[in-house]
Amino acid sequence: MKSYFIMTKIIWCYFFISICISCKGSSNKDIITEDIKTVTIYADTVKPKLRVTQHELVAFAKTLIGIPYKYASIDPNIGFDCSGFITYVFNHFKIEVPRSSVGFTNIGKEIKIEDAKEGDLILFTGTDANIRIVGHMGIVTDNIDTLKFIHSTSGKKYGVTISEFSDRYKLRFVKVVRIFKD
């Protein structure tokens, strides 16, 4: 019986070593093509680790539609608040971003609302539009006929959803920031 356990350990060690040897020398650069846009570091707080397109970021965010709202959470198993959702999406691609919505106030490159495009971040005040501090945010999904964005909301739709840039949001609008290169 003792020899069985020793043999099992040897097999597992051999398996582990062969995996390590086969992975040696490969990198993300080998896997990802050179023509993909990379995340631009517009601020010291945004640190990309992998290459990703705006479309890939938004496509992943859309897979989270329907996850409920949960204050102060970045866990998809229990829900997200708005910045928790953004953090989760960006961290999925190994991009470090601020954890709170107010932390996005001074990162990225400010863009005119009419120039917003897929993957840009849209920043709003909290529920009180008179307090002009960022308190809510989303990711622009498109800006063809009307700007749309994906976010985790505690409002009527309650959770991760896509919303139009309606009058309700226009009152609370602060700015759009671009994290990706043009």
Task: State the pLDDT at residue 115.
Answer: 97
For the domain made up of 54-178, the CATH class stated in words is alpha beta
Q: Identify the residue whose tokens are 């086969």.
A: 22
- The H or E element containing residue 132 is none
pLDDT at 12: 39
Which residue out of 13, 20, 23, 136 is catalytically annotated? 136
Give the residue among 141, 58, 131, 146 at the shortest CA–CA distance from 101.
Answer: 131
pLDDT averaged per 10 residues, the chain (length 182): 42 37 33 34 53 94 97 96 97 93 95 97 96 97 97 87 97 95 70
pLDDT at 181: 77
136 carries an active-site annotation: yes
Active site residue 55: no
Domain boundaries, the chain: 2-31, 54-178
Radius of gyration of the chain (CA): 21
Q: How many CB atoms lie within 10 A of CB 116?
A: 22
Give the per-residue pLDDT at 110.
Answer: 97
pLDDT given for residue 175 in this prediction: 98
pLDDT of residue 161: 97
Q: State residue 47's pLDDT score.
A: 59
Residues 6 or more apart whose Cβ sits within 8 Å of residue 172? 124, 125, 126, 127, 129, 136
Number of CB atoms found within 10 A of residue 111's CB: 18
CB-CB contact of 103 with 174 (8 Å): no
Residue 82 annotated to the active site: yes
127, 71 contact by CB (below 8 A): no
Q: Which pTM was predicted?
A: 0.74
Query: Which member of 13, 23, 82, 92 is catalytic?
Result: 82
* CA dist 162 → 2, 65, 90, 140, 170 (Å): 59, 8, 17, 9, 15
